[in-house]
Structure 1
Amino acid sequence: MSYPFGKNVLLSSVGFDRLIDAMEEMSSGESLNKAQSYPPYNIIKKNERDYAIEIAVAGFKNDEIDITAEGNKLTVVGKVKADQTGEYLHKGIANRDFSHDFTLAETVIVRSADVENGLLIIKLENVIPKEKLPRKILIGGNSKLVIEEVKEAA
């Protein structure tokens, strides 16, 4: 299945394996249609382990947004409840149903979700298995190699 740029960018950011392909796709002139780009969102890398997805959800109530993490797929769905009172003379603020699917790397887990100032902020963490962490290999005087883990800078 082909995702437009941004749908698999978290996987690319974490694994760096498809980042160049995604950048080429973006620069090749392929544009997102309005349904795929609504509402706008940001993917933020805070540090090596912490990431966040920010989605503009102004006008949505918490019970109108559903977030589901299943395997390495994160789905965010917004459904507007029709409780309009009054007649619009001008309607310039988009307020329609949406669905975004994000493909996460196998090591990324969803930590929490909050709404702040009209932004849905989904906090993610890249949990690196101990065997994948960098290790320093010391050369000793005997035939054994001594291996110790490199301590991460906080």
Structure 2
Amino acid sequence: MTRLSLFNSPLLLGFDQFERTLDRISKNSAEGYPPYNIEQVGGNGLRITLAVAGFSRETLEVQTEDRQLVIRGRQEEDQARVYLHRGIAARQFQRSFVLAEGIEVAGATLDNGLLCIDLIRPTVETKVRTIEIGSGTGRNAALQLKSAGTREDAEADAAEGLGKRR
């Protein structure tokens, strides 16, 4: 079965990274354990809360790896206990969350079977940049401008190139 790409349009250049991230997210969303909530805290904070009943601080691990938040839990089987019914899962897990650029992990707490991980989202500054439109011979002048060290050097090179052609 062929997968339809959301970013297949020629107008969307450079979005390959987003497509790979969406693929990774869709693979991780198939896992259902442990259940979690994501909530907004304050103006620029996020909190991920995972239900990890039966786990202690020693059996949980929270790491950031390559712009991913990875939470791992491992429980060892207690051989001294004999269960007549076992409804609480005692299994290892790994849950991953893709972090946007600039998001930092502020801390993690474990309280009453809930692991809370606080994240800080940086405030985004809007940047406006005006691109000067120069005159030249099209693509050749643009390549010279790009490869030149300074704007003055590029303008001089472009003017010199125009002079040679006349």
Return the TM-score normalized by structure 2: 0.58
Aligned partner of 1:57: which letter?
Answer: V
Aligned partner of 2:106: which letter?
Answer: R
* Percent identity between the two aligned chains: 35
| Larger Cα-atom Rg | 2
1:102 and 1:79 mapped to 2: Cα distance? Answer: 18
| 1:37 matched residue in structure 2 | 32
Of Structure 1 and Structure 2, which has the larger fraction of its residues in strand? 1
| 1:149 matched residue in structure 2 | none
Of 73, 79, 100, the residue aligned with 2:74 is: 79
The answer on whether the counterparts of 1:110 and 1:122 sit within 8 Å (CA) in structure 2 is yes
The answer on whether the counterparts of 1:57 and 1:118 sit within 8 Å (CA) in structure 2 is yes
Cα deviation, residue 6, structure 1: 7.7
Q: Deviations over 1:23-68 (max 9, x none)?
A: xxxxxxxxx3xxx110101111123311000001110011111111
The answer on whether the counterparts of 1:66 and 1:77 sit within 8 Å (CA) in structure 2 is yes
1:59 and 1:133 mapped to 2: Cα distance? Answer: 45
Confirm whether residue 92 of structure 1 aligns to residue 83 of structure 2: no
Q: What is the correspondence of 1:1-12 to structure 2 with a 5 Å cutoff?
A: 1=20, 2=23, 3-4=25-26
| 1:47 matched residue in structure 2 | 42
Q: CA RMSD in A?
A: 2.3
Aligned partner of 2:26: which letter?
Answer: P
Cα deviation, residue 95, structure 1: 1.8
Return the TM-score normalized by structure 1: 0.62
Of Structure 1 and Structure 2, which has the larger fraction of its residues in helix? 2
| 1:67 matched residue in structure 2 | 62
Q: Deviations over 1:124-152 (max 9, x none)?
A: 000236xx169xxxxxxxxxxxxxxxxxx
Q: Deviations over 1:69-110 (max 9, x none)?
A: 123111001011223322100001112110011001112100
Q: Which sections of structure 1, spanning at least 5 residues, go unmatched? A: 8-31, 135-154
Instruction: Please state whether the residue corresponding to 2:26 is helix, strand or coil.
Output: coil
The answer on whether the counterparts of 1:107 and 1:128 sit within 8 Å (CA) in structure 2 is no
| 1:114 matched residue in structure 2 | 109
| 2:16 matched residue in structure 1 | none
Count of matched residue pairs: 106
Q: Which sections of structure 2, spanning at least 5 residues, go unmatched? A: 1-19, 128-166
Q: In the superposition, relative to structure 1, how do residues 133 and 46 fare at CA in structure 2: closer, same or farther (>3 Å)?
A: farther
